[in-house]
Amino acid sequence: MSDPEDLYELTADAEGVPEGLHLIMGLTGFADAGGAVAQFTDYLLTTLDHTVVASFDTDTLLDYRARRPIIYFDQDHLTNYQPPSLQLYLARDEIGQPFLFLTGFEPDFRWEQFTAAMLQLVDRFTVSSTTWMHAIPMPVPHTRPIGVTVSGNRSDLIENRSVWRPHTQVAANVLHLLEFRLQERGASTVGYVLLVPHYLGDTEFPAAALSALESTSASTGLIFPTDRLREANREFVARIDDQVQSNPELAKLVGTLEQRYDAYMEGSTLRSPLTDEDGELPSADEIAAELENFLALRRSRDDGANS
């Protein structure tokens, strides 16, 4: 394996990073139902003070043909080319507590070298704990709190916050590998999987970002401003509720999800909130297609009314 230090470059601000900080991580490119990670990372970068302390080599880690960067065509010339980045920041929460924050694209290549590089940085900054998250679509209702599955070695968080604890194989992302390596070392690490309503998986669901912030606070004690996200979520949910209530068939389907969720959370013998009485998964395609068709119909009616 090549030298892990070849993958990143420290900035001058790295010398001023205090020891013993929490490290929070959220990378894009893997499953991100409800835009949870993208919203979470963007919200932190736009609301909190931060400075770059390390930058990773995009040319080495990114498959440009799989995730093509955007360039702007301005009438007769090209402008504003901004390739993806993967950076480690020193940030401060709402009351000034410092923490480290890794965000950007998930590496396509050299996972072992990247993981070794992150372990070097964990050692360099004497990181006290790591927290990371991603989000997957699940047949759960939007009218209930977003649940999480918790991994890692924080037994307190697993016991108090993990609502679904499956025995299954999953497609890994690079932060799974980093968590695994940290566990081998006995370092404090926790991963959150946000369980987002599958029929909202392709939207930007503000509640998913709120759940990411709340989960991060639970594992780190950091405090984040949430007023703007909470207001956005109230408006988002109001629109969805109006659309669901206007469609009896869709309302019935969402109601079924609510019943299964509530029965599970009340300690029912159901194996999980995702299965029916026969242990079968409800039709994700049916619910998603129904909602998409209904939204398309509403847009068509709105366009007709405005023409």
What is the structure's pLDDT at 41? 97
- What CATH number does the domain containing 39 carry? 3.40.50.10900
Q: Is residue 305 part of a domain?
A: no
Q: Is residue 289 part of a domain?
A: no
Query: For residue 92, what are its two tokens?
Result: 């401060």
pLDDT bin (cut points 50, 70, 90) of residue 250 is confident
Q: Is residue 127 part of a domain?
A: yes
Q: Is residue 141 part of a domain?
A: yes
Helix (H) or strand (E) holding 112: helix 111-124
Domain residues for the domain of 53 are: 4-270
Q: Is residue 264 part of a domain?
A: yes
Nearest 10 degrees: CA dihedral of 173, 178, 183, 186? -170
pTM of the model: 0.85
Query: For residue 27, what are its two tokens?
Result: 């990378």
Number of independent structural domains in the chain: 1
* Residue 24: strand pairing partners: 101, 131
pLDDT tens-digit readout, 48-99: 999 999 999 999 999 999 999 999 999 999 999 988 999 999 999 999 999 9
| Contacts within 8 Å (CB) and 24+ apart, 271-279 | 272/164, 272/166, 273/140, 273/147, 273/163, 273/164, 274/138, 274/139, 274/140, 274/164
What is the structure's pLDDT at 296? 61
- pLDDT, mean of residues 143-158: 94
Mapping DSSP to helix (H, G, I), strand (E, B) and coil, where does residue 79 land?
strand
Q: Is residue 40 part of a domain?
A: yes
What is the structure's pLDDT at 291? 56
Burial of 46 (0-12, 13-18, 19+ CB in 10 A): exposed
**Residue 279 pLDDT > 50, yes or no?**
no
Encoded amino acid at 202, one letter: D
**% of the chain at pLDDT higher than 70:** 87
Q: Is residue 227 part of a domain?
A: yes
Q: Is residue 283 part of a domain?
A: no
Phi then psi dihedrals of residue 150, to 5 deg: -110, 135
